[in-house]
Amino acid sequence: MVMKSSLHVRHRDSLKVHFTTVLFYHFYHQERSPCACRTRSWCLPFWTRYVTNSSVDVWLAARDEQKTLYRMDRSGCLRNSGHSLASNYFAEPIDLMFVFEINALMHPMTRVMPARRVLLYPTYDLSDDQIANFEDLGVSVLPDDAILKPPNPSFRKTLDEAIMQRQRRLQRPKDKLLIFPADIRPIKGQLDFLSGLLFEGARKPSAVQRLRGLTIVVAGGCDGNQTYCNEVVTLTQKINAEKLLNVVVADQLKDEELAQLFTASLGIVMHSVIDCNPRVIYEGLVTDTPFYVTESTRLPPLIQHLGHVTDGDPALVAERLADFVELCEAGGFTGRAREFARRHLTEADIYRKMVEWMDQKYLSGKETQPIIRGEEALDSFGGGLGNILGGAGLGGLGLAGLGGSTGSLSLAEYHGNGVEIRSGHLQRF
């Protein structure tokens, strides 16, 4: 979707900042229009320019040193610089480097980039001590659950269209349907969730009976762990054989299909073991769809009243889910999610707060060392991140888990270890 030039005119100079150069280190998609938001998640490079002016030099680099390095022109569109990070060297330090995902902070390029301040959006749950540890090294952390997440503008348009289509076709607001929109992998918790829905061996069989006639769509592709994915499919078949619930594994869906399911569903399910305030929850709010999530999904307190938050105990899934479904069917959440989205999921307000935070950290944060040393950066992680990325215990910037060296790694070496937490089609963090 092309970002409207009117946004640049409407919001220009609405915020005064003190930094003059910023590089966003983020995966991006190829787009025909240079003025299009190139990610399925944050459009922060564009909004940084919208709320400031052309005196702020904005760059976009991919998480691949060979991919094109983009620079924003005066009109607010990204232009091919003719270089990549592998071929372009910044002779003078840039003021800010904004890194998306803690994995990306492991990349050799981010460790040697000449930047006065480094900002990190981790997509990982860091403790206060770990955040302070980063701050001491000149890396300021914006916790995932510290901000609300407006839907990507392209998908927001798709959601709005799906809402209008359903209103034209149907009288009833929702179907007896839940959607679990996440790639199928252990940290997303599909097995724990589904195991709690089996009638046979259930702690409270009557709770499963209360869910009779409910359809659950597991919308996500297999994210590499074929054994886990096969177990999910097998468990789904067992549930369906009991003829109380209907569980559908839908694989990856097109945006239009996903939007239609959001508008039709009573609720969105996220039974994560580890998560980072997923954007799909906010996409659901736009369609007036509440959520059933675990505490580990890490939603901000500001939105937790718009659904059910549980401890994730599989033995209690059926009972708690039945309570949630019955409350939804009784209209207990009707209108609340949609009104919250209307009032609070405003792009301009959210992005302005993010840019304000960037400027505040530029002024108050500690200047980065020339090279972030791996053995110093994440000492307080111990085995925490290592368990997620392969169980190696990363020590420093993940490098112990990548072969035991704290020196620079090539991208080929990095990816060859297969430790990066990758986002699938539905992961819009």
311 and 196 in one domain?
Answer: yes
**In 190-248, alpha helices (H):** 190-195, 205-210, 226-241
Cβ burial of 107 (10 Å; 0-12, 13-18, 19+) is buried
Distance CA 410, CA 109 (A): 9
Contact 397, 386 (CB under 8 A): no
Domain of residue 202, residue span? 153-345
Instruction: Flag whether the pTM goes above 0.75.
Output: yes
- Say yes or no: 317 and 173 in one domain: yes
Side-by-side strand order, sheet with 267-270: 246-249, 215-219, 177-181, 267-270, 291-294, 307-310
426 lies in a domain? no
Tell me the pLDDT band of 191, cut-offs 50, 70 and 90: very high
| In-domain check, residue 197 | yes
Residues 273 and 216 in one domain: yes
Task: Report yes or no on 427 lying in a domain.
Answer: no
What pLDDT score does 369 carry? 63
Q: What average pLDDT does this structure show over 295-305?
A: 96
- What are the strands, taking DSSP E only, across 236-374? 246-249, 267-270, 291-294, 307-310
Tell how strand 115-121 and strand 246-249 pair up: unpaired
Give me the CATH number covering residue 258: 3.40.50.2000
Averaged pLDDT of the chain: 83
389 and 283 within one domain: no
Same domain assignment for residues 377 and 363: no
In a domain, 425, yes or no: no
Whether residue 242 is contained in a domain is answered as: yes
- Amino acid letter, residue 383: G
Report the alpha-carbon distance of residue 429 to residue 423 in Å, rounded: 8
Among 44, 46, 86, 91, CA closest to 66: 86
Domain total in the chain: 3
Residues 377 and 364 in one domain: no
C-alpha–C-alpha distance, residues 251 and 248, integer Å: 9
Residue 129 sits in the same domain as residue 220: no
Q: How far is CA 93 from CA 22, 47, 63, 409, in A?
A: 10, 22, 19, 22
pLDDT digits 0-9 by tens, 132-172: 999 988 899 999 999 999 998 889 999 999 999 998 887 67
Cβ contact 54:17 at 8 Å? no
Q: Is residue 428 part of a domain?
A: no
Domain end marker among 305, 326, 345: 345
Which range is least confidently modeled, 24-28, 48-52, 226-230, 246-250? Answer: 24-28
408 found inside a domain: yes
Question: Residue 96: which pLDDT band, with cuts at 50, 70 and 90?
Answer: very high
* Pair 376, 124: CB distance under 8 Å: no
Closest CA to 114 of 138, 90, 135: 90
Q: Are residues 83 and 178 in the same domain?
A: no
Q: What is the mean pLDDT of residues 68-88?
A: 87
Considering the domain architecture, whether residues 141 and 172 belong to the same structural domain is answered as no
Cβ atoms of 306 and 328 closer than 8 Å: no
Does the structure show a pLDDT above 60 at 81?
yes
**DSSP label of 113:** -
Verify that 385 and 364 share a domain, yes or no.
Answer: no
Q: Would residue 31 count as lying in a domain?
A: yes
Question: Are residues 170 and 75 both part of a single domain?
Answer: no
Q: In the predicted model, what is the mean pLDDT of residues 170-191?
A: 93
381 lies in the same domain as 341 = no
